[in-house]
Amino acid sequence: MPISIKDYTWDETETTVHITVPLKGVKASKADIFSTDEYIKVSFPPYLFEVALFASVDDGKGSAQVGNGAIVFNLVKREAGIWSRLTSPQSGDKEVMKSKREAAVEAAHRRAEKEKEEKAIKKREAEKYALKEQMALEQQEKKRIEETRNEERKKVMDELDEWKEKKRQEEEEETKLESDDDGDDDDVHENGDGNKGIFDEVTDQVKETQISSGEEEEDDNQISSSSVKTSDKKLKGQKKEETPVPAPRRGGSIEVSFTPRVFPTPQRESYKTQEEEWLRKQAEARKVGVIEDDSDLTEEEKNPDWLKDKGDKFYRNGNYLAAVNAYNQAIKLNRKLPSLYSNRAACHLQVGNLMKCIEDCSTALELLEPPVEANANSRLKAHIRRGTAFCNFELYVEGLQDYEAALKIDPNNEKLKVDADRIRDIIQGTEADEDSS
């Protein structure tokens, strides 16, 4: 039965009340304080302080300070005045105190519900405000990106217009040069003095050659044409030579080949060295060990894969000991298959063989090196099972390490997050109890 505290002290003013309750050598962390507008209770075993106040106070404005071997209450009166006494005149009646105590607990529950509801409302408002701000930021970013695109588009269009104008000017210059060349040809046929031009002189020379040689008319025309062309070249001078057009490209084909990959991840995201090491270990693990001839064993019982499937069926049916026996026989045949140790660890966890579960999970994790995408699920299960075994041993720190390792493999697993937070709360609660003791 708790010991009631009677040697407390108190004083008051028109608006406040101050109560000092000694802790009697009990640590401050052991004190449990409960207060409402008309009721105060302090429990620090084996002592108890309980009082029904003379009048109501504003519990929301009051405070309680714990330290220096005492608890000091600073209460604010709802109505100003002098009480002359701290406790209610009915505080000696057990039934009245019981009803006040129940009313105080009920009021505290209502207040807690109200605070919870207000907190939820504030949280929703904060989430709405954050969402609104996020949408505004996204809108600003979208506007900025659109403006940048418009600027880039305008820049490209300006460059295109400039290029078109440049090409147009070049074409005009070429047309002008051609017209100038045509004017020079006209001047060659007749000079300003009315004398024969170079063209006439060449024609006369050709005629003289025809008379002297006596060639046929057709040949004369060819010679005349050739001579005219030669004269034209001399008259026009050096003209701009046309750029030779390159020959069309020859058709062809490009062959693209892809190297087949065992892993589903792209080559650029892979870890080639680790993956090759894992494939090598898997190939070695698939080599069945040699055992001594045993007439009691069938051919199937000498196959580790068959024994593993048998153990899996026993596990699903709840026959964990039979599953362990199957996995034991399979491990004798092949000690390099991590799934055998991981599955046997699950059986040990079910029957409470926690140390064996931890050992098998550790062995499985060693065989699952190097860590690659292909063995991620197996490593996840091994970490969870070993972490669970550690927690059942009350080794919560080691268990939390395994759960955090599992979360690194599967960061979106909500159940793992909840379990890890629960273990973390247990660790923090244990440390708090040790500090208080």
332-376 pLDDT, tens digit each: 888 888 999 999 999 999 999 999 999 999 999 998 888 888 888
89-148 pLDDT, tens digit each: 777 777 777 777 777 777 777 877 888 888 889 988 898 899 888 899 999 999 999 999
How would you class 103 by CB atoms within 10 Å of its CB: exposed for 0-12, middle for 13-18, buried for 19 or more?
middle
- pLDDT attached to residue 226: 46
Task: Name which of 171-175, 278-282, 316-320 the model is least confident about.
Answer: 278-282
Rounded to 10°, the helix 396-409/376-392 angle is: 160
Q: What is the DSSP string of 343-389?
A: HHHHHHHHHT-HHHHHHHHHHHHHHTPSP-GGGHHHHHHHHHHHHHH
Residue 123 belongs to what H/E stretch?
A: helix 94-189
229-243 pLDDT, tens digit each: 444 555 455 445 566
Residue whose structure tokens are 């080794």: 395
- pLDDT attached to residue 213: 43
Residue type, 338: P
Residue 262: pLDDT over 60: no
Going by DSSP bridges, is the β-strand pair 3-4/9-12 parallel, antiparallel, or unpaired?
Answer: unpaired
Whether residue 401 contacts residue 418, with contact meaning beta carbons closer than 8 Å, is answered with no
Residue 193: pLDDT over 60: no
Choose among 339, 359, 344, 354: nearest CA to 388: 354
Mean pLDDT of the chain: 77
- pLDDT attached to residue 212: 44
How would you class 97 by CB atoms within 10 Å of its CB: exposed for 0-12, middle for 13-18, buried for 19 or more?
middle
3-state helix, strand, coil in the chain (%, to 5): 60, 10, 30
Q: Tell me what the mean pLDDT of segment 57-68 comes to.
A: 84
Residue whose structure tokens are 């049916």: 317
**Across-strand partners of 41?**
34, 50
How far CA 367 is from CA of 242, 281, 308, in Å, comes to: 75, 8, 17
- pLDDT attached to residue 32: 85
How far CA 394 is from CA of 389, 413, 428, 429, in Å, comes to: 9, 24, 13, 13
Label residue 176 by pLDDT band (50, 70, 90). confident
How far CA 28 is from CA of 46, 62, 70, 159, 434, in Å, comes to: 13, 19, 8, 79, 14
Give helix then strand counts, H and E, for the chain: 11, 8
CA distance 277 to 283: 10
CA angle, corner 404, sides to 400 and 410, nearest 5? 140
Q: Which two tokens stand for residue 207?
A: 């005629």
